[in-house]
């Protein structure tokens, strides 16, 4: 939930003239920073694990916390990736991971620094409604 604060701190370095800023420009930058933050609490973090194909498409999870049976999917908004498209992609992810007994939780982390998602709490709520007793969906849209 505090990802944006950390990202901002890296952008505003202590001595800006002598150290390059870490600027998040795409989803890979978000993944790099989130991976570093996950290492604070988890030892076994699998990155971009291949998973069996679903709906005719090959897939990779961004992060797998195998011991916790938790998958983390990361998105960063951009002009052509807003509410509708992110929702569509994540609904497919939910359907896939929910059907796999190796996973018990899906965490969807959406970084939206330009506030391109018009109703972030609504999108969170809609996706989290896909939770069941056996499979939990958590969605975090920040800032």
pLDDT digits (tens, 9 = 90+) for 33-55: 999 999 999 999 999 766 655 55
Average pLDDT over residues 117-127: 96
- Is 88 a residue whose pLDDT tops 80? yes
The token duo for 61 is 């999870």
Lowest mean pLDDT among 14-18, 105-109, 113-117: 14-18
Distance, in Å, from the CA atom of 48 to the CA atom of 1, rounded to the nearest integer, reads 22
Mean pLDDT, range 113-132, rounded to an integer: 96
Contact 23, 113 (CB under 8 A): no
Cβ–Cβ under 8 Å, residues 113 and 120: no
Residue 82 region, left (φ>0) first, then alpha (ψ -120 to 50), else beta? Answer: beta
More confident residue, 21 or 89: 89
Given the structure tokens 């076994």, which residue do they identify?
44
The predicted pLDDT at position 16 comes to 60
Range with the poorest average pLDDT among 13-17, 61-65, 70-74: 13-17
Rounded to an integer, the average pLDDT of 128-141 is: 96
Q: What is the pTM of this model?
A: 0.87
pLDDT band at 56 (very low <50, low <70, confident <90, very high): low
How many other C-beta atoms lie within 10 A of the C-beta of residue 11?
12
Residue 96: phi, psi to the nearest 5? -65, -55
């Amino acid at each position: 939930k505090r990802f944006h604060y950390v990202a901002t701190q890296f952008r505003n370095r202590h001595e800006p003239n002598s150290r390059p800023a870490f600027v998040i420009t795409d989803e890979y930058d978000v993944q790099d920073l989130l991976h570093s933050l996950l290492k604070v609490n988890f030892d076994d973090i699998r990155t971009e694990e291949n998973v069996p194909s679903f709906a005719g498409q090959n897939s990779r999870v961004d992060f797998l916390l195998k011991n916790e049976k938790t998958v983390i999917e990361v998105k960063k908004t951009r002009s052509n990736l807003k509410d509708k498209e992110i929702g569509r992609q994540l609904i497919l992810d939910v359907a896939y991971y929910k059907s796999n007994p190796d996973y018990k939780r899906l965490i969807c982390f959406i970084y939206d620094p330009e506030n391109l998602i018009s109703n972030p709490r609504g999108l969170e709520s809609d996706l989290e409604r896909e939770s069941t007793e056996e499979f939990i969906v958590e969605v975090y849209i920040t800032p």
